[in-house]
Structure 1
Amino acid sequence: MKEQYTKYYSHRLGRDIELLVYGHWGYPVLVFPTTMGRYYEAKDFGLVQSARRLVDEGRIKLYCVDSIDRDSWYAKHLHPSLRILNAIQYDRFLNEELVPWIQQECNVGKVAAAGCSFGGFQAANFAFKHADKVSHLFTMGAAFDIRDFMSGYYDENVYFNNPPDYLPNANDPNLWQMKIILGSCLADFCKPETERLSAILTAKQIPHWLDIRWHGTHDWPIWKEMFPEYLSQI
């Protein structure tokens, strides 16, 4: 399986963002790491290997991106207003720099977004905010209400980065065209959050698959089973 390490300099963030890219060709899938995870996490925990057949066949190409969680959502040393501003800059890096580069490299109009646990929130938040750029969304063991990270602080920036808040009022027609899978397992402590997001999508008549048939807990072994099955839907 072809592996390429790359650094992408982000003018929005004023720093290099590291990525691992897997595959020689295929539909691009942007993979977000879990809580404070790094770009190599999906490789180290076997998530990439679980999708090897699809990658080797040239059906998909994985872009495992780094996070800035330590400077945003998990930056407890910063005031919550600064945490959310840093998260917004990361979103701008994705929307204005990285994803357009991936679109050009793969000659596609949209990309897929995927993530486990907190990476599932990152994938969903990006997909819902920029539905014109995302064709598929796959979340695994994710929770989606970001207010717990804000220490009681709330403003419009928090609102527009909290899917349970802004999604009921969203009207981008691309949302109804997106292929969405919300995966969780029966014993996952994030299952209620996944079901809550599914209820919001259902109320808006946005097609999606709520997949909670898996036996297990909030951990990599289940996500490694989910991932290739979900990718095969592309």
Structure 2
Amino acid sequence: MYEQYHRWYSHRIGREFEMLTFGYGGFPIIAYPTSMGKYYQNKDFHLIDSIAWFINNGKVKVYCPDSIDNDSFYNKGIHPAHKIMNHVIYDDLILNEVVYRAMHETGFGKVAMVGCSFGGYHALNFSFRHPDKVAYMFSLGGAFDISSFMWGYHDDNVYFNNPVEYMPNLGEGWYLDNIRRMGIILATGDQDICKEDNYRMSGILHSKGINHWLDVRWGAQGIHDWPAWRAMLPDYVSQIRW
């Protein structure tokens, strides 16, 4: 499998940022790590190996950016206002330094967003905030309510990055039209600690007339762990129309 390591200075976060990419070309997939995970996590836990056929046959190119969760949601040493502002900066970095790069390198006008566990939050929230840039969104074992990280604090940045808040209030118009065009999969399992979060989000999407697939796995694939996600992801990548 063709793999490249990328490192550059990001003025948005004021330090160097790292990323791995896999493949020569194909439809671009942005794959977030899990909570506080590094850019190599999806490789180390063999999530990338699970879709090797699609990568090696030029169907997809996968971009695995670093996270800055330690500076945002999981940083207990700063005020929640600073937590969410750091996340807003990260969202801007992913859009302008990763997504636009992926579209330029592959020649596609949109990307797919993928994430497991808290990476599922990142994938879904980014997709719904920038629906004109995203054709597919696959959340595997995701959870979508960030209020527990905010310790009771609330502002516009919290609201507009908390999908369980802003999605129920989303009116007809540009955002909703673009989200309705998206291929959306919410993946969970009967033993997944985030199962209820996925049922809740599925209900919100239904209420807005947003087609999606709530895929609930059972048995060995029903857990909140890498073996289940490795089994799920090839099924979802096969839905991409390249």
Same fold at TM > 0.5: yes
Could you tell me which residue of structure 2 aligns to residue 12 of structure 1? Answer: 12
CA separation in 1, counterparts of 2:61 and 2:92? 22
The alignment's C-alpha RMSD in Å is 0.9
Gaps of 5+ in 1: none
CA separation in 1, counterparts of 2:95 and 2:61? 19
Alignment TM-score, normalising by the size of structure 2: 0.94
Q: Please, which of 192, 195, 199 is the counterpart of residue 195 of structure 1?
A: 199
CA separation in 1, counterparts of 2:10 and 2:180? 31
Is residue 38 from structure 1 mapped to residue 38 from structure 2 by the alignment?
yes
Whichever residue aligns with residue 168 of structure 2, its letter is P
Is residue 227 from structure 1 mapped to residue 203 from structure 2 by the alignment?
no
CA separation in 1, counterparts of 2:163 and 2:8? 28
Whichever residue aligns with residue 76 of structure 1, its letter is K
Alignment of 1:19-98 (within 5 A): 19-98=19-98
Gaps of 5+ in 2: none
Fraction of identical pairs, as percent: 50
Could you tell me which residue of structure 1 aligns to residue 111 of structure 2? Answer: 111
CA separation in 2, counterparts of 1:137 and 1:183? 11
1:100: how far off?
A: 1.1
Whichever residue aligns with residue 228 of structure 1, its letter is P
Kept in 1, the 8 Å contact 2:23–2:60? The answer is yes
1:102: how far off?
A: 1.2
1:196: how far off?
A: 0.3
Whichever residue aligns with residue 123 of structure 1, its letter is A
Kept in 1, the 8 Å contact 2:65–2:98? The answer is no
Q: Deviations over 1:29-88 (max 9, x none)?
A: 000000100000001001000010111111011101100000001010011010000000
Alignment of 1:150-229 (within 5 A): 150-170=150-170, 171=173, 172=175, 173-215=177-219, 216-229=222-235
Whichever residue aligns with residue 231 of structure 1, its letter is V
Q: Deviations over 1:128-148 (max 9, x none)?
A: 000010000000001100001
Whichever residue aligns with residue 67 of structure 1, its letter is S
Alignment TM-score, normalising by the size of structure 1: 0.98
Stretch of structure 1 that moved more, 148-157 or 81-90: 148-157
Task: Give the SS at the match of 1:169.
Answer: coil
CA separation in 1, counterparts of 2:129 and 2:165? 12
Is residue 133 from structure 1 mapped to residue 133 from structure 2 by the alignment?
yes
1:7: how far off?
A: 1.1
1:226: how far off?
A: 0.6
C-alpha distance 61-214 of structure 1, shift in aligned 2 (>3 A): farther
1:13: how far off?
A: 1.5
